[in-house]
């Protein structure tokens, strides 16, 4: 029996932080055992915001090393721009997606604000507007059944399903599969510096904890996490809950239960909670950091492997595009 297809993507902007890891990448690694997985470093998406070409190139490879260190198989990993068919499918799908649908995307609104805040002379690109259609093309290209992502990608997944349905209606055939999101147990990790925001690379260094940061830095960041005002209330504050989430994500169930009981009895010291979280995170990142050292010892070998996996995965994209061109009268 054919295995179900899993596809996901990550932008080569910023670093690989705990939100990305626990929200998505850890799942990518586990799913490889049971599914036909394709994972992509989405550099076409990365140029939708103001960027520096030299830095982009560096970031792409850095992210590749980091993903391999986390346990992503090289045969499953490709670089989006090595498969230009994604842009062609994006164009065709953009003609099956309405302006109104794209205008409602919250990520577009958030990123528009970011562009304006950072530099008032920058402009909001059309690419940023059509970004979700390119994401739909990434997913539909491989007829993905499942898409492991964080909760922030819900709206884009819903749009992808709508585009798939519209395409099928236009061509009169159930060609594309409507994909489903796959969430981890921690689909949203918050910034430890400001728990009203999600942990993210674009909000600035203090708003994310880098998996590859020196362990002392990780400990310091966790020690300075915002908890609550000290006044007890009936509901746990977002900051404290986030620390518990991190502990759970690191699979420290026994300590998690113990500290949660202390919290309920009002005997928990936040300094102790933070120390446990820091220990757990450091224990989790250590082997990943060690693996990265081995991987970057031969960067050329890694680059050759990823170029070759991208070429292999491209064969699948070419086959889809041939069918799509015939179905849409573009052959
Ligand atoms: P991005 O950082 O936008 O490239 O996202 C890469 C993947 O990580 C996507 O699947 C996101 O949904 C996920 N992700 C990013 N930040 C977080 C977060 N703070 N919590 C959970 N998942 C996240
Ligand atoms: N938009 C996603 C993000 O910001 C990245 C992405 C691009 C993606 N293409 C994808 C995620 C395809 C899943 C599937 O995280």
Would you write out the chain's pLDDT as a tens digit for each of its 331 residues?
689 999 999 999 989 999 999 999 999 999 999 999 999 999 999 999 999 999 999 999 999 999 999 999 999 999 999 999 999 999 999 999 999 999 999 999 999 998 888 777 789 999 999 999 999 999 999 999 999 998 999 999 999 999 999 999 999 999 999 999 999 989 899 999 999 999 998 888 899 999 999 999 999 999 999 998 766 677 899 999 999 999 999 999 999 999 999 999 999 999 999 999 999 999 999 999 999 999 999 999 999 999 999 999 999 999 999 999 999 999 8
CA quadruple 289, 293, 295, 297: dihedral, nearest 10? 170
Site of tokens 């966790």 = 222
Q: Give the containing element (helix H, strand E) for 222.
A: helix 215-223
Where are any strands of DSSP class E within 156-240? Answer: 180-182
Question: Measured between alpha carbons, how far is 299 from 69 in angstroms, rounded to an integer?
Answer: 13
Q: Give the position, in ligand 1's atom list, of the atom nearest the Cα of 187.
A: 21
Question: Measured between alpha carbons, how far is 31 from 29 in angstroms, rounded to an integer?
Answer: 6
Spell 44-56 as b/e; 16+ CB within 10 A means b: bbbbbbeeeeeee
What's phi and psi for 10, nearest 5 deg? -145, 140
**Best substitution site from 11, 24, 138, 248 to test ligand 1's pocket, by max atoms within 8 Å of Cβ?**
24
Burial of 101 (C-beta count, 10 Å sphere; 0-12/13-18/19+): middle
Q: Which tokens belong to 95?
A: 């003609």
Ligand 2 mean position to 254 CA, how many Å?
34
Q: Give the position, in ligand 2's atom list, of the atom nearest the Cα of 7.
A: 14
Task: For residue 78, give the 3-state DSSP assignment.
Answer: strand
Strand order in the sheet with 77-79: 77-79, 36-41, 5-10, 146-148, 180-182
Q: Give the position, in ligand 1's atom list, of the atom nearest the Cα of 153.
A: 12
pTM: 0.95
Q: Atom 9 of ligand 2 has which residue's CA nearest to it?
A: 135
Q: Give the position, in ligand 1's atom list, of the atom nearest the Cα of 11.
A: 4
**Best substitution site from 152, 201, 211 to test ligand 1's pocket, by max atoms within 8 Å of Cβ?**
152
Spell 256-267 as b/e; 16+ CB within 10 A means b: beebbeebeeee
């Amino acid at each position: 029996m054919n295995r179900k297809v899993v596809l996901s993507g990550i932008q080569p902007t910023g670093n690989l932080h705990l939100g990305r890891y626990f929200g998505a990448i850890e799942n990518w690694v586990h799913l490889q055992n049971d599914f036909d997985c394709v994972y992509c470093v989405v550099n076409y998406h990365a140029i939708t915001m103001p960027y520096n070409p030299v830095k982009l190139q560096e970031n792409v490879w850095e992210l590749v090393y980091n993903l391999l260190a986390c346990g992503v198989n090289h045969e499953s990993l490709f670089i989006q721009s090595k498969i230009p068919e994604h842009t062609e499918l994006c164009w065709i799908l953009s003609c099956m997606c309405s302006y109104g649908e794209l205008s409602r995307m919250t990520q577009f609104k958030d990123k528009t604000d970011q562009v304006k805040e950072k530099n008032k002379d920058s402009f909001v690109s059309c690419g940023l507007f059509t970004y979700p259609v390119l994401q739909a093309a990434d997913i539909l290209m491989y007829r993905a059944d499942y898409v492991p992502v964080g909760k922030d990608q819900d709206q884009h997944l819903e749009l992808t399903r709508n585009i798939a349905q519209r395409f099928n209606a236009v061509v009169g055939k159930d060609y594309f599969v409507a994909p489903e999101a796959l969430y981890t147990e921690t689909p949203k990790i918050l910034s430890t510096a400001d728990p009203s925001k999600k942990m993210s690379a674009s909000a600035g260094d203090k708003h994310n904890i880098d998996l590859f940061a020196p362990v002392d830095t990780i400990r310091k960041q966790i020690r300075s996490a915002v908890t609550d005002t000290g006044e007890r209330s009936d509901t746990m504050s977002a900051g404290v809950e986030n620390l518990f989430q991190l502990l759970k994500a690191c699979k420290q169930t026994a300590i998690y239960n113990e500290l949660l009981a202390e919290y309920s009895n009002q005997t928990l010291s936040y300094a102790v909670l933070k120390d446990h979280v820091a220990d757990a995170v450091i224990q989790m990142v250590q082997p990943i950091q060690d693996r990265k050292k081995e991987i970057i010892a031969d960067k050329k070998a890694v680059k050759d492997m990823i170029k070759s996996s991208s070429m292999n995965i491209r064969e699948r994209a070419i086959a889809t595009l041939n069918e799509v061109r015939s179905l849409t009268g573009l052959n």
